[in-house]
Amino acid sequence: MSIRKRRLGVALGHIFEYYDIAIYSAIAIYIGHNFFPEHLFGQDSALFVWMTFALRLFSRPFGGLFIGAYADRYGRKSALIFTSTLTGIATLTMALMPTYHEIGILASILFFIMQLLQAFSFGGENPAAITYLMEEAKNKEKARMGAILWGSSFLSIVLSFLMIYILKRLFSYDEMIAYGWRIPLILGLVNIMCSFYFKMKLIEPENYTSSTKIGVQGLAVFKIFLIIIPTVVIVYANTFSSAILAKQFSSDPDVQELLPIAFNVIFFVLCWVAAFFIDRYVECTQVLNKSYAAMLFLSVPIYALQDLESWTALLISQVLISLLIAIITTVTPSVIFEQVRAQEKYRITSIALGLNMGVSIFGAFSPLAIHLLTPHGQVYIGLLMSMCALLYFVGMHCEKFFRKERSKPVKI
């Protein structure tokens, strides 16, 4: 199997699996009705739906640690196949399981467990895919590998939102509650089968070295944790604020649904445009350094533009934020991998632990922070972005504060 086909296989697998993660937010209203009904959970039933989403983030570090250790010992291909299997089981169960109205609270509990299993799986899928592609990537290919890995997530969001948009035009609200919400999950299972097929065709990279014991590169974990924080915050914050922006832009429900789709199409295209120019002219680390320097000093004025109640100012702000997100999303996987490149042992486990801890803590925290800050003005969101950008530079230079022996791998 050629290297191009292997990369395509990982890319398609990643898109298919992220679709199953993204679809949850698209069908949240129907999940609430079927598994967290108001007559039991009260008017806060929607809160339980999003609490489930937040709590699932905390299963990712455990999945990353377990699957990462498995991948370091038995290979990247085996781990990627394993994650597809777990995600397939969770997706199939959610698509076919009875609702609260049929088996009571057991349905709510089982649904929550399947969400945890899906997040557990993705906690290992993402680091394994990063390592698989970056281990073979040449210096002038790394940004494109980042676009394959994380730029593809925007395409997954587009597919999930577009699927719900079409279904809502084919079925009534009652039909969507009764059975329509199951359709995107069943299609997600087809996606997982395609992902499984592509991953079965993969071969291990030539420079893969098996780790016979479980361990992590301690310093690398800490650095990756700090590096990923601003990425998580700006991506999650923009997802949340884009929904608000869509409502401000138009009162038409169709426009409000189509705008987030359009935003994510733009992000996807910008990722690939950025990847092309970055690979051609500059290194990923240099680009990320400059991007976070810009985020540090310019976030406050960029977000302040959104408080001027001018569509021109709002458009300029959104364009700058979109460009920044596209660049950061494209180059961050390469910079993360560089933190573990020097040592062949425990690569995936180290990436998985640092990455998933950052996503779990700040992915759950960011929507709440944006929700609390928005009424006081967008400038405070910009201030939050600036503070997070500082953490990136701490992460990139923190090895100066550690003695050399502390950077050695730590066995678990």
More confident residue, 208 or 71: 71
Report pLDDT for 143.
Answer: 95
Question: For the residues 30-47, what does the mean pLDDT come to?
Answer: 72
Q: What is the CATH number of the domain that holds 261?
A: 1.20.1250.20
Judge whether 409 lies within some domain: no
pLDDT by residue (tens digit) across 193-233? 777 777 777 777 666 667 767 778 888 999 999 999 999 98
Composition of the chain by helix, strand, coil, percent to 5: 85, 0, 15
Are 161 and 18 within 8 A, CB to CB? no
Contacts of 381 (CB under 8 A, 6+ apart): 237, 241, 303, 370, 373, 374
As a whole number of angstroms, the distance between CA 207 and CA 297 comes to 41
Judge whether 199 lies within some domain: yes
pLDDT at 168 over 70: yes
Report pLDDT for 217.
Answer: 83
As a whole number of angstroms, the distance between CA 244 and CA 364 comes to 18
- pTM greater than the 0.95 cutoff: no
pLDDT at 405 over 50: no
Report pLDDT for 41.
Answer: 64
pLDDT at 1 over 60: no
Judge whether 197 lies within some domain: yes
Q: How many helices (H) and strands (E) does the chain have?
A: 18, 2
Judge whether 408 lies within some domain: no
Judge whether 79 lies within some domain: yes
More confident residue, 182 or 257: 182
The secondary structure of residue 353, as a DSSP letter, is H
How confident is the prediction for the chain on average, in pLDDT?
A: 83
Q: What percent of the chain is modeled with pLDDT above 90?
A: 28
Identify the band that residue 334 occupies on the pLDDT scale cut at 50, 70 and 90.
very high
pLDDT by residue (tens digit) across 273-322? 999 999 999 999 999 999 999 999 999 999 898 888 787 887 888 889 98
Judge whether 411 lies within some domain: no
| Count of structural domains, the chain | 1
Report pLDDT for 289.
Answer: 96
Report pLDDT for 411.
Answer: 60
Judge whether 410 lies within some domain: no
H helices of 27-141, where?
28-35, 38-41, 45-57, 60-74, 76-96, 100-103, 105-136
Identify the band that residue 271 occupies on the pLDDT scale cut at 50, 70 and 90.
very high
3-state secondary structure 237-249: HHHHHHHHHHHHH
Give residue 55's domain range.
3-398
Judge whether 349 lies within some domain: yes
Backbone φ and ψ for 309, nearest 5 degrees, come out as 55, 40
